[in-house]
Amino acid sequence: MGHDRKRRLRRDLLEVRRALPPDVIAAAGEELARRTLELDELAPGAAPSPATPPTVAAYVSIGGEPSTRALLDRLRAAGVRVLLPVLLPDNDLDWARYEGAGRLVRAGRGLLEPDGERLGPEAVTRADVVLLPGLAVDRRGLRLGRGGGSYDRVLARLERAGARASLVVLLYDAEVLDEVPAEPHDRHVHAAVTPSGVHRFAAPQGRTGV
């Protein structure tokens, strides 16, 4: 069953992440920041209007995830409007604007969340780029998440809204796999960014890529 295979693969990938020393996590984050800022979607002139900066829905990394701390600050310094998730009691995600590391507060499950105005779960549908956490992606663009379901809801919300955001998962190099187990509800991403570069995926026929 795909679910059981996912569970085993998640366990193995999380075990590798738990063994990573802090300096490796931080170094990966520095490279991810540089590579992400090179995305065509964030290039000057890529925004719908020169007067409207691009909007990126991102997240604050935790544990052994590739660090996003440098990326968040560099996006903000580049004039990008950065949205961060706020976990709701039902595991869905609200969103608020990132106003700097000093405006992050500790929330449940060890998460850091922005302390500003809540913009509502639908705010993500107005993002130009959605940066996704994950544990792996395969050559088809299928992302393996942690299994909590929060980002499955985000991706479904984007699809219902007909959003055209670029979906980008942030990973370590070794987490780009030939194949990950798939279930019917799984959705494809457009790209993965790892410390070594950007990996692009073609949307399958008959799907939007969301």
pLDDT tens digit sequence for 155-205? 999 999 999 999 999 999 999 999 999 887 778 999 999 999 999 998 654
Q: Which helix (H) or strand (E) holds 203?
A: none
Cα distance between the two ends of the chain? 24
- Specify the DSSP element, H or E, that contains 29: helix 22-37
Q: Look at residue 205 and tell me if it is in a domain.
A: no
The answer to whether the annotation marks 63 as part of a ligand binding site is: no
CA distance 53 to 78: 9
In a domain, 115, yes or no: yes
Tell whether 207 is covered by a domain: no
Structurally, how many domains does the chain consist of? 1
Known binding residue 80? Answer is no
Q: Confirm whether residue 30 is marked as ligand binding.
A: no
> Residue 112, annotated ligand binder?
no
Whole-angstrom Cα Rg for the chain: 16
**CATH label of the domain that carries residue 147:** 3.40.50.10420
Say yes or no to pLDDT of 209 above 60: no
Q: Is 67 helix (H, G, I), strand (E, B) or coil?
A: coil
45 is in an annotated binding site: no
Task: Kindly state the helix (H) or strand (E) to which residue 155 belongs, with its residue range.
Answer: helix 150-161
Domain range enclosing 95: 2-200
Q: Cα dist. 152→23, 52, 143 in Å?
A: 31, 28, 10
pLDDT category, 49, cuts 50, 70, 90?
low
Backbone angles phi, psi at 195, to 5 degrees: -55, -25
Longest dimension (CA), the chain: 49
Give residue 45's pLDDT band: very low, low, confident or very high (50, 70, 90).
low
Within a domain: 163: yes
- Annotated ligand binding at 11? The verdict is no
Is 98 assigned a ligand-binding role in the annotation? no
| 209 part of a folded domain | no
What backbone torsions phi and psi does residue 175 show, to the nearest 5 degrees? -95, 5
Which pair of structure tokens corresponds to residue 201? 């995926």
Best CA proximity match to 32, nearest among 65, 75, 68: 68
Q: Which residue has the higher pLDDT, 53 or 102?
A: 102
Per the CB < 8 A criterion, the answer to whether 76 and 82 are in contact is yes
Q: How many CB atoms lie within 10 A of CB 198?
A: 14
Residue 7 annotated as binding? yes
pLDDT higher than threshold 80 for residue 54: yes
**143 annotated ligand-binding residue:** yes
User: 144, 136 in Cβ contact below 8 A?
Assistant: yes
Question: Residue 13, SS3?
Answer: helix
Is 30 contained in some domain? yes
Give a yes or no: residue 208 inside a domain: no
pLDDT at 176: 97
Q: Is 134 annotated as a binding residue?
A: no
